[in-house]
Amino acid sequence: MKRTKQDEGEERAVAAPSSGGIAKKRSARPAAAKKPQTDLAAPARPGRQGDSPEDSQADSLAEPASLASSAAVADAPPSRGNEPRANEPGAIAARGDKPVDLVACQERIGHTFRDESILLAALTHASGAAHRLASNERLEFLGDAILGFIVCDTLYRIFPESLEGDLTRVKSVVVSRETCGRISEQLGLTEFLIVGKGLAVNSAVPVSVLSDLFESVVAAIYLDGGIEPARRFVSRWMEPEIAQVSSGAQGANHKSLLQQLSQRDFGVTPTYEVMEESGPDHSKSFHVSAFIGERRYTPAWGRNKKEAEQRAASNALVELRAAGVGVADAGRRG
């Protein structure tokens, strides 16, 4: 059939929308390909149903601030919630799962802390700390040096005629583990000691732990208040020890003094018992306690039984003096 010009015009008119639609789809593909570049430059949050193009654009502009806020949160230390650290208020005391009474502890020590966290760290044994740096080990290291300095300074001043060897012998006994541990017991610091479950189940705290506790408290006082408060604390507890030990170094017999006091005030003679032995047969050390009746006093180590008994008697005399028993009178009456 012969086609007229009118028929060709109508066919072109019908085809125009279709070809126009195809052109639009082809031109839309490059625009769709560019969208990931926008996403990489500023990641947008997942779209919500009903968001307009203006909302999407506002969200994209807000993303940098949101990302900065998220980075700040990521850099912050993780929250522990209500779980107390071993060196923070709320930690648990070893002697009965009760909160540490820092007020009572400070009264016992005789020093009010401006920073109680230092005191709490001094009371925290490694077994009860979140990590080793949170325990009292570093404080014990410092306290040992401070204690030694104060005792050496005291000995140097009050014994101007004594030789270095004599001062060293007195100092070694005064700052010994046994002496420091005994003072911790007399202060009642075990009531505030923070330890892990392994130590908490035991009825007795090792002497080494008590000794470290005393030295840690010395360091804590020094860090909180300076050398003078630390000196007052050490002098209050160590000067009686110095007097007792120096009298022994000058020839006093602690066993004789203890016997005189015991017979005078209690009507019995002291006895001595070896609690423990250590070392090879040719070089044994002995851990001896003095007894007055049924009362056992803090034991002491010696290189032989005689030396250990003298030191055990010295420990008993110190404890009796702290209890108000007249040790000096017993010596004069002998």
Q: Do residues 222 and 199 both lie within one domain?
A: yes
81: pLDDT strictly greater than 60: no
Residue 61 lies in a domain: no
Q: What is the pLDDT of residue 252?
A: 53
Q: Assign 278 a pLDDT band (cuts: 50, 70, 90).
A: confident
Residue 242 and residue 318 in one domain:
no
What's 271's domain CATH number?
A: 3.30.160.20
Measured between alpha carbons, how far is 24 from 127 in angstroms, rounded to an integer?
A: 75
Per-residue pLDDT, 75: 39
CB proximity list for 208: less than 8 A, separation 6 or greater: 177, 181
Q: Residue 93 has what pLDDT?
A: 40
pTM of structure: 0.49
Is 191 annotated in the active site? Answer: no
Active site residue 144: yes
The verdict on 204 and 287 lying in the same domain is no
Do 222 and 118 belong to one domain? yes
Q: Are residues 225 and 141 located together in one domain of the fold?
A: yes
Q: Which of 104-118, 221-235, 246-260 has the lowest mean pLDDT?
A: 246-260
Give yes or no: residues 208 and 114 share one domain.
yes
Q: Both 244 and 327 in a single domain?
A: no
For the chain, give the number of residues. Answer: 334
Q: What is the mean pLDDT of the chain?
A: 73
H/E/C letters for each residue in the chain? Answer: CCCCHHHHHHHHHHHHHHHHHHHHHHHHHHHHHHHHHHHHHCCCCCCCCCCCHHHHHHHHHHHHHHHHHHHHHHHCCCCCCCCCCCCCCCCECCCCCCECCHHHHHHHHCCCCCCHHHHHHHCECHHHCCCHHHCCHHHHHHHHHHHHHHHHHHHHHHCCCCCHHHHHHHHHHHCCHHHHHHHHHHHCHHHCCECCHHHHCCCCCCHHHHHHHHHHHHHHHHHHHCHHHHHHHHHHHHHHHHHHHHHHHCCCCHHHHHHHHHHHHCCCCCEEEEEEEECCHHHCEEEEEEEECCEECCCEEECCHHHHHHHHHHHHHHHHHHCCCCHHHHHHHC
Judgement on whether residues 283 and 236 belong to the same structural domain of the protein: no
Range ranked top by mean pLDDT from 94-108, 184-198, 314-328: 184-198
Tokens of 184: 């911790």
- Residue 126's pLDDT band, with cuts at 50, 70 and 90, is confident
Residue 40 has pLDDT above 60, yes or no: no
* pLDDT number for residue 88: 41
pLDDT above 70 (res 7): no
The candidate with the shortest Cα–Cα distance to 159, out of 169, 145, 146, 147, is 169
Return the pLDDT at 154.
92
> Are 177 and 86 a contacting pair, CB within 8 Å?
no
* pLDDT at residue number 111: 95
**111: domain range?**
102-249
Same domain, 155 and 195: yes
Catalytic residue among 59, 140, 144, 212: 144
pLDDT at 188 over 60: yes
Q: Which of 59, 140, 178, 215 is catalytic?
A: 215
pLDDT digits 0-9 by tens, 161-182: 888 888 888 898 899 988 999 8
What pLDDT, on the 0 to 100 scale, is given for residue 73?
Answer: 35
Shortest CA distance to 137 belongs to which of 227, 211, 226, 196? Answer: 211
For the segment 285-301, what is each residue's pLDDT rounded down to a tens digit?
889 999 999 999 988 88
Query: What's the pLDDT score for residue 133?
Result: 77
**Does residue 330 have a pLDDT over 80?**
no
In a domain, 58, yes or no: no
> Is residue 106 in some structural domain?
yes
Q: Of 216, 249, 282, which marks where a domain is finished?
A: 249
Specify whether 224 is located in the same domain as 326: no
Are residues 219 and 329 both part of a single domain? no
Same domain, 204 and 239: yes
**Per-residue tokens: 90:** 């709320």
Q: pLDDT for 108-125, tens place per residue?
A: 999 999 999 999 999 988
Pick from 332, 279, 265: which is nearest to 308 by CA?
A: 279
Q: Is residue 40 part of a domain?
A: no
Quote the number of domains for the chain: 2
* Whether the predicted pLDDT of 185 surpasses 70: yes
Q: Which of 249, 270, 285 is the last residue of a domain?
A: 249
Domain boundary among the residues 234, 249, 264 is at: 249
Six-digit token string for 194: 């923070």
For residue 143, what are its two tokens?
């306290």
CATH code of the domain containing 126: 1.10.1520.10
Top pLDDT among 47 and 86 is at 47
User: φ, ψ for residue 160 (rounded to 5)?
Assistant: -65, -20
Q: Is residue 233 part of a domain?
A: yes
Report which residue type is found at 130. A
Q: Is residue 46 part of a domain?
A: no
Tokens of 148: 């030694």
Name the band, by pLDDT with cuts 50, 70 and 90, for residue 6: low
* pLDDT for 153: 94
128, pLDDT greater than 60: yes
Select, from the ranges 7-16, 49-58, 127-136, the one with the highest average predicted confidence (pLDDT): 127-136
Residue 78 resides in a domain: no
pLDDT category of residue 229 using cuts at 50, 70 and 90: very high
Q: Flag whether 6 is in a domain.
A: no
Is the confidence at residue 211, as pLDDT, over 60? yes
